[in-house]
């Protein structure tokens, strides 16, 4: 599949590059966290990252003063597996280059999204990007020349923590897997085997191929 840059106009419907941020201290803090031997890890909030000066800047500038959390997704991955969305934008920043596999929420039809509609975007290391609330995304993918990835993830505080308890009243309610997180799983993914909503049809994209 074609891999676009986030500086390409094709990225416009999915998000935008954020300007005026000093990312050096955050990248150093991210690189101190070792990569897992395999797979990916995610933590919603990491104290060493939130101690970096950029945390307050993101809270005030990117989120307009709303309380946020700054965590990280890191590891080794080349597959789509799932797509998720939140009710708010997400800000991503890589210690090195990485690839996002993205689609649009309005492409979901009857609870399913055709993976042929997914596009790939390469994000340069140290460049913060906003991924809009209407954009479906999931774990980043490493670029071929890297052994893995480390991507900081800024979100409204509480996102991706324990799922709220309520009685589902529509189909979308059953897609929720955590607080402020709705997920569509590919049938081949471990998330599908755990009982998450199977909402992706077509190829489970693997950028290594």
pLDDT tens digit sequence for 72-116: 999 999 999 999 999 999 999 999 999 999 999 999 999 999 999
Residue 31 has pLDDT above 90, yes or no: yes
Q: What is the mean pLDDT of residues 37-47?
A: 96
Q: What is the pLDDT of residue 93?
A: 98
Q: Checking phi first, is residue 95 left (phi over 0); if not, alpha (psi -120 to 50) or beta?
A: alpha
* Percentage of the chain exceeding pLDDT 90: 98
Strands 90-94, 98-104: pairing is unpaired
Q: Is 86 exposed, middle or buried (0-12, 13-18, 19+ CB in 10 A)?
A: buried
The predicted-structure confidence for 165-177, as pLDDT tens digits, reads as follows: 999 999 999 999 9
Query: What six digits make up the tokens of 197?
Result: 């909503």
Q: Return mean pLDDT, the chain.
A: 97
Domain boundaries, the chain: 3-78+87-159
Q: Residues with Cβ < 8 Å from 88, sequence gap 6 or more?
A: 63, 133, 155, 156, 159, 180
CATH class of 3-78+87-159: mainly beta
Q: What is the pLDDT of residue 209?
A: 82
Q: What is the pLDDT of residue 75?
A: 98
Q: What is the mean pLDDT of residues 185-191?
A: 97
């Amino acid at each position: 599949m074609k891999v676009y840059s986030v500086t390409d106009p094709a990225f416009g419907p999915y998000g935008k590059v954020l300007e005026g941020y000093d990312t050096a201290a955050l990248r150093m803090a991210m690189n101190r966290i070792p990569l897992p031997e395999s797979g990916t890890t995610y933590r919603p909030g990491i104290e060493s990252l939130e101690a970096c000066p950029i945390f307050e800047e993101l809270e005030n500038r990117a989120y307009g003063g709303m309380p946020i959390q700054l965590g990280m997704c890191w590891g080794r991955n080349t597959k789509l597996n799932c797509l998720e969305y939140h009710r708010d934008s997400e800000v991503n920043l890589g210690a090195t280059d990485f690839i996002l596999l993205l689609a649009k929420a309005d492409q979901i039809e009857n609870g399913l999204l055709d993976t042929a509609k997914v596009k790939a975007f390469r994000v340069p290391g140290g460049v913060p990007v906003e991924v809009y609330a209407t954009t479906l995304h999931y774990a980043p993918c490493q670029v071929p020349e890297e052994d893995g990835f480390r991507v900081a993830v800024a979100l409204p505080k509480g996102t991706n923590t324990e799922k709220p308890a309520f009685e589902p009243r529509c189909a979308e309610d059953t897609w929720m897997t955590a607080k402020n997180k709705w997920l569509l799983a590919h049938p081949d993914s471990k998330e599908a085997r755990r009982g998450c909503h199977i909402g992706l049809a077509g190829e489970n994209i693997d950028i290594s191929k």
